[in-house]
């Protein structure tokens, strides 16, 4: 689970761990919630999106220019210091980043990689699931996003313009045609003399 696949027309199959299957901390969210302020302390909890049950927990304490994390990996207690950096925005204010403990790269998200602790996506060889999708997988993902905007049976939600509804139905139809074309192409390659 979490590995790239080797299948026909796969985008970029690989053996990378998938980001969606890792615990991660996001500097933007932590800054918004005030967890990176000096003196702030507590526990950060990850929960299962469907059941709401706790899947992981780490302790944190904000310090000047860094945050201290306390957690356990495979029953072993780990203390890790993560540096923080601040950059100015063009129209005022600033943005907070984590500094990867391994390479020092400025990143927004760090991922838990076993005994290595929290590191950036590049150091941990972590990829997003969409990076190894084939054309069919991309079409399914696009269709799910469009279907989320519609009611059951692809019906038009209250307040949605008819033109918008028709445009979304056209996108769904295009996704289905793309999948049918990919299946047809696969079958033609697999069975050049026909199925019978």
Q: Mean pLDDT, to the nearest integer, of 54-72?
A: 95
Containing structural domain, residue 114: 17-129
The per-residue pLDDT for 194 is 76
Q: Give the contacts of 138 (CB within 8 A, at least 6 positions apart).
A: 11, 130
Looking at the structure, tell me whether residues 102 and 158 fall in a common domain. Answer: no
Looking at the structure, tell me whether residues 94 and 36 fall in a common domain. Answer: yes
By C-alpha distance, which of 52, 20, 17 is closest to 123?
17
Round to whole Å and give the CA distance between 24 and 113. 10
Residue 23 placed within a domain: yes
pLDDT band at 115 (very low <50, low <70, confident <90, very high): confident
Looking at the structure, tell me whether residues 141 and 122 fall in a common domain. Answer: no
Q: Total structural domains in the chain?
A: 2
The per-residue pLDDT for 44 is 95
pLDDT band at 14 (very low <50, low <70, confident <90, very high): low
The answer to whether the pTM exceeds 0.75 is no
Looking at the structure, tell me whether residues 38 and 116 fall in a common domain. Answer: yes
The per-residue pLDDT for 2 is 43
Looking at the structure, tell me whether residues 110 and 21 fall in a common domain. Answer: yes
pLDDT band at 131 (very low <50, low <70, confident <90, very high): confident
Looking at the structure, tell me whether residues 84 and 158 fall in a common domain. Answer: no
Last residue of a domain, one of 110, 129, 148: 129
pLDDT at 170 over 90: yes
Looking at the structure, tell me whether residues 125 and 146 fall in a common domain. Answer: no
By C-alpha distance, which of 15, 12, 19, 20 is closest to 3?
15
Looking at the structure, tell me whether residues 51 and 146 fall in a common domain. Answer: no
Q: Mean pLDDT, to the nearest integer, of 34-53?
A: 93
What is the crossing angle of helices 135-147 and 162-190, to 10°?
160
Looking at the structure, tell me whether residues 115 and 44 fall in a common domain. Answer: yes
Last residue of a domain, one of 85, 109, 129: 129
């Amino acid at each position: 689970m979490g590995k790239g696949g080797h299948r026909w027309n796969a985008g970029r199959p690989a053996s990378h761990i998938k980001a969606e299957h890792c615990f991660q901390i996001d500097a933007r969210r932590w800054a918004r919630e005030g967890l990176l302020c000096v003196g702030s302390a507590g526990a950060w909890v990850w929960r299962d999106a469907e059941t709401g049950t706790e899947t992981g927990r780490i302790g944190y304490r904000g310090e000047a220019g860094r945050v201290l994390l306390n957690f356990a990996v495979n029953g072993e207690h780990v203390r890790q210091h993560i540096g923080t950096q601040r950059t100015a925005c063009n129209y005022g204010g600033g943005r907070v980043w984590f500094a990867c403990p391994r390479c020092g790269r400025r990143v927004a998200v760090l991922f838990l990689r076993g005994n290595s602790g929290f590191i950036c996506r590049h150091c941990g060889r972590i990829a997003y699931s969409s990076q190894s999708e084939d054309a069919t997988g991309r079409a399914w993902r696009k269709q799910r996003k469009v279907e989320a905007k519609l009611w059951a049976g692809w019906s038009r939600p209250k307040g949605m313009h008819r033109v918008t509804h028709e445009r979304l139905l056209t996108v769904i139809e295009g996704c289905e045609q793309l999948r049918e074309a990919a299946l047809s192409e696969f079958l033609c390659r697999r069975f050049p003399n026909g199925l019978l």
